[in-house]
Amino acid sequence: WRVANNLKKVLENQGATVHLTRTTNSTNSWGPCVWDRGAFGAKVKADLMVSIHGDGAKANGHGFHVIAPVKIKGWTADITAQSRALANSMISGMKASGVTPATYLSSPLSLRRDQSTLNFSDVPVVIVELGNMRNTTDASRMSATPGQQFYAKALAAGITKYVQVRH
């Protein structure tokens, strides 16, 4: 939640319009459901959508990875290429910002067909797993204010790279 709000501030300072799927981090107000999250980008006429998460891999693994949709006719076929470009920009921007790619995967890019947030999107979309919540170093960074600001700037670098390449 704090990473998303920090990212919002960074991007708005660069002139972007940013919409969040949530207005609070209250445990009494959770959601929206994954299919609503996926449809959110088109609803607000967004150019792209980044869903921010923390992974839950084995504790000895650390680092980030980005999930993009595979081509599914009638679902993601129209956004697959741009989502892949967004994913590659996110990976490049995050690596350039000093975020380590996941040590427990062969690549920082995962292509998935089983993620509703991706499958219900009508705009270029990725899920970014910032780190591994079971790894003490990643968990500490994700939960501390300086780490949250670090991740926000790294995410902004990836988004900015995508927007610059696209235009």
Strands 125-132 and 109-112: unpaired
Average pLDDT over residues 23-39: 79
The pLDDT tens digits for 65-106 are 999 999 999 999 999 999 999 999 999 999 999 999 999 999
Supply the range of the domain harboring residue 97.
2-166
CATH code: domain of residue 148: 3.40.630.40
Taking the C-alpha atoms of residue 153 and residue 90, their distance in angstroms, rounded to an integer, is 11
Continuous H helices in the chain: 2-13, 34-43, 80-96, 116-119, 136-143, 145-166
Question: Is the preceding peptide bond at 32 cis, omega within 30 degrees of 0?
Answer: yes
Q: What is the pLDDT of residue 30?
A: 66
How many domains would you assign to the chain?
1
The pTM score is 0.95
CB 61 within 8 A of CB 136: no
| Whether pLDDT at 164 is above 80 | yes
The pLDDT tens digits for 119-131 are 999 999 999 999 9
